A and B are shown apart, each in its own frame.
Chain A
């Protein structure tokens, strides 16, 4: 579903990603881990071209993406993204947030989009909040709306950048539950998270990033039980 070859990205003089190779198969759940500043967010943002890498190749589905010639907007319809700080549109209700892109990007009829939105809101357990504004929701509710909003474009892949890091501890579970359900539905996902319990339970593969390199990857039970790389050990000790 996603193939990354030789991806490199610098900010000014700082090289953040160095020759990254990564493959994500259909319905796989890949969890990216690594210390702060290791390049996890940057890698994720390169996958939907919110950042443009200066070298390397990215293939999504069976389309090789060339930022100069590919229609990136079309490509992004297939790649949903969920952010740490939700980024809901504060001037729109929950329902309007969700139907915004289907109506204005996909040109879906308003009725059809609303039906879809209500279905998605049920899925994330928030159909009674359709007419609330984001300001009237808790963090966990906001993030579930953000997930529903991304799903409304019916993407083939979902990217999550620390979706629970900004939440109060008691609200983390409800968001992880929605993500688990998505994984069970067979959604292909790439997730940056520090929730190791979640990774152990849901991830098909865990990928460890350090200084812009992938230094280790494998099934969660392998990585957590006996990490091969000394930096992975140290990282896991710190956060577990």
Chain B
């Protein structure tokens, strides 16, 4: 195959020497079958070994290679060069502080995840001797889509509310909370309720829908959040209007 010469503009930032990030250009002889990540690997191997970025699986599974590619949050291992023009801009994911080059600081995302208790909270403790849980296909289907998240944070980079509201838990964490709330093995809905309905929870979402447009796994976090809003509204009225129910 004939190589295709592509101009890569990469936003570089070295915390040891740079006051602010700056663009640097690289002309890369690309195999037509490459993805953006291959070209970045080529730059690191052949031109500039100091270029920093994250990746691991090269198959859209690990979720670590997210970058802004021509302004769009993208898994760079899934971004085929044949779908791009001859100039490609690559920048660290939006809405996150830049640690170095294309590497972002993920603390906020990690903290948001922890806050929503993203694990099964069972009715009573269960040991290995008790055997596995059983679930019908319908029970599985209720949440399966929301369990496909690979924590790539593309949805955070796409969401304007994440950028504007520092504390907003963000799409993936809220979708995950909804995923566990929908799980028939879980009884943690009330334990998650406060964090979901507080100022930084589902109501901070203004339903732009950008998260779902960029999600590489079709998780559709925007849908999860709207459904969580409806569920929390119903809970609110149930708690206040039905006798014998308390929080």
Indicate, yes or no, whether A interacts with B: no
Where the two chains meet, the residues of A that have a C-beta atom closer than 8 Å to any C-beta of B are none
